[in-house]
Structure 1
Amino acid sequence: MMDRFEGKVVIVTGAGTGIGAGTARRFLQEGAVVVLNGRREAKLRETIAGFDAAKSLVHPGDVSDETYVKRLVEDTVTKFGRLDVLVNNAGFATFGPFAQITTQDWRKMMATDLDGVYFGAREALPQLLKTKGSIVNLSSASGLGGDWGMSAYNAAKGAVTNFTRALALEYGSRGVRINAVAPSITSTEATVDFEKSEAVIAAFRDRLPIGRSAKPEEVAGVIAFLASEDARFINGVILPVDGGLHASNGQPNFLSLLGQA
């Protein structure tokens, strides 16, 4: 493993499970000091098990709380002296018909998936301007197009997509790059119920040319690339990590339908 982040300090939100946990580990493997945010302290400690404790800080809290996010960044800089990368990963999805979404459901989704990204960027950017660092936001395939039954999530992730682009315009010339990844289905705690259904997995396989869900570490590798000097001329990109999902124009697989696949 390369040491692209030796001497760098990284905050990863939602680092207790899934893509966030995979991302925190990837940065640790590449030499970074990592500050791990999440709501469940025990899960954050599982993420860093086996790594040098001196090179990490477990910082439990809720990114929908702007006072907490301010403290997260302040504590990072106080302890480690700098901030080089922010990964705004914390988020969740709900599924169901639009008519069943309550105001409470909507506000909760926006508070974590969108407000948390805004608070993180707002508090981190003054520090990132000093280090010429970068932000990687977690959008989604659902932030690039609509889904049946995920209207609130589509709205939040669509906002993250364009927020990323707007910030990249403002801060690119000032030395801070801001990009996002847009994963499709990734095998995490959040997808366990989906992946128990053979019909759901078969439908995803039909749409994903690679033929399977992503693994968290596969998305983490792309996040680390975007945050690294290897991507120093990449700014304002929403990079699909989707197994080829967006290679399709949406029409069905004619070869399969005609028995020629």
Structure 2
Amino acid sequence: MEPVSNIQKWALITGALGGIGRALVSEFVEHGYQVIATDLNNSCKTLNNVHFLQLDLDAFVLDEAYAAEFYSKISRITAHKGISTLINNAAVQILADCSQLSRKQWQTSLNVNLTAPFFLSQLFTDDLVANKGAIVNISSIHATLTKKEFVAYATTKAALSSMTRNMVLDLGNRVRINAIEPAAIATDMLKAGFDGKEEQYKRLEMFHPLGRIGTPKEVAKLACFLSSDDAGFVQGACISASGGIHGCLSDPL
């Protein structure tokens, strides 16, 4: 897909300072978008065609006035043109055994990973309809395949993928909505978790049929495609980006 020349299309990307988030911002800018990049953490960086906003998704979910003020900020930034793409990328990954998970941990997981994407989609529906826009939810392989202590994260991602499919029935042909379900992606956070564990990292790579894990840019390129007119007939899809690992049986024998 060739970069577009019209820079008046606006993309709103949450979780923009993480590994996948940074790749999303760069990819959409490369394809001619003006990007509103949000994150819980503030950023002092200034980039061409990128507007940074701090966004607390917990507060966004719980405080309607906070959400309304956020919408007003976006409206002012876009000169009331509104966004044409919403990328729900932000997520928290709280790991705990189901017998130990606290109510706060459970509710935070739901707020950030599921409820915020829903209400962001609802808040910007009119803008997206007016701009013939698209929503891309960054879900996870954990929506269908998970492991111990991932119950909160996996449950929210399964619900996010389900929400993606179900919202289609209400949105119809007005707004396209799709999800990406990545497996292991080579973010700084993932690499830091394998610091000093090079052999384990190599085993993780080789367990993927492609012989490697994914890159943030590959996820970003797929999100950019799903936001484009080239993906015009793709609606309500939850697309695996797993390097084939979603087909692997983990068999001890």
Contact persistence 2:97–2:149 (CA under 8 A): yes
Write the deviation string for residues 158-209 of structure 1: whole angstroms up to 9, x where unpaired: 1101001111222132x21000101111122432343223454244234311
Is residue 2:73 matched to residue 1:75?
yes
Which residue does the alignment assign to 1:29? 30
Matched, 1:17 2:18: yes
Q: What amino acid sits opposite 1:139 in the alignment?
A: S
Deviation at 1:24, TM superposition (A): 1.0
Aligned pair count reads: 245
**Could you list the runs of 5+ residues in structure 2 that have no partner in the other structure?**
none
Distance 1:239 1:100 in 2: 32
Report the TM-score, using the length of structure 1 for normalisation: 0.86
Q: Does 1:99 align with 2:95?
A: no
Q: CA deviation at 1:119?
A: 1.9
Amino acid at match of 2:138: L
Alpha carbon RMSD of aligned pairs, Å? Answer: 2.1
**Alignment map for 1:110-121 (pairs within 5 Å):** 110-121=110-121
Which residue number in structure 2 is paired with residue 65 of structure 1?
Answer: 59
| Deviation for aligned residue 1:133 | 0.6
Alignment TM-score, normalising by the size of structure 2: 0.89
SS where residue 86 of structure 2 aligns? strand
What is the identity percentage for the equivalent residue pairs of Structure 1 and Structure 2?
25
SS of the residue 1:105 aligns to = helix
CA distance in 2, matches of 1:108, 1:136: 21
**Equivalent residue letter for 1:104:** K
Say if 2:50 is the partner of 1:56.
Answer: yes
Question: Which residue pairs with 2:186 in the alignment?
Answer: 187
SS of aligned partner of 2:16: coil
Counterparts of residues 1-261 of structure 1 (less than 5 Å): 2-3=3-4, 6-42=7-43, 45=45, 51-52=47-48, 55-66=49-60, 67=64, 68-80=66-78, 81-173=81-173, 175-196=174-195, 197-198=197-198, 200-248=200-248, 250=249, 252=251
Higher mean alpha-carbon deviation, 2-11 vs 55-64, is at 2-11
CA distance in 2, matches of 1:187, 1:166: 30
AA paired with 2:50?
S
Tell me the distance in 2 between the aligned counterparts of 1:146 and 1:5: 41
Tell me the alpha carbon deviations over residues 186-239 of structure 1, each in whole angstroms, 9 at most, x when there is no partner: 122432343223454244234311222221111100000101111011000011
AA aligned to 2:71 is V
Instruction: Report if the CA contact (8 A) 1:144-1:161 is conserved.
Output: no
Would you identify which runs of 4 or more consecutive aligned residues in structure 1 move more than 6 Å?
Answer: none
Which amino acid in structure 1 is aligned with residue 19 of structure 2?
G
**How much does 1:39 deviate?**
1.4
Asked if the contact 2:145/2:246 (under 8 Å) is kept, the reply is no
**Structure 1: unaligned runs, 5 residues or longer:** none
**Separation in 1, partners of 2:151, 2:227:** 30
Instruction: Compute the displacement of 1:79 (Å).
Output: 2.4
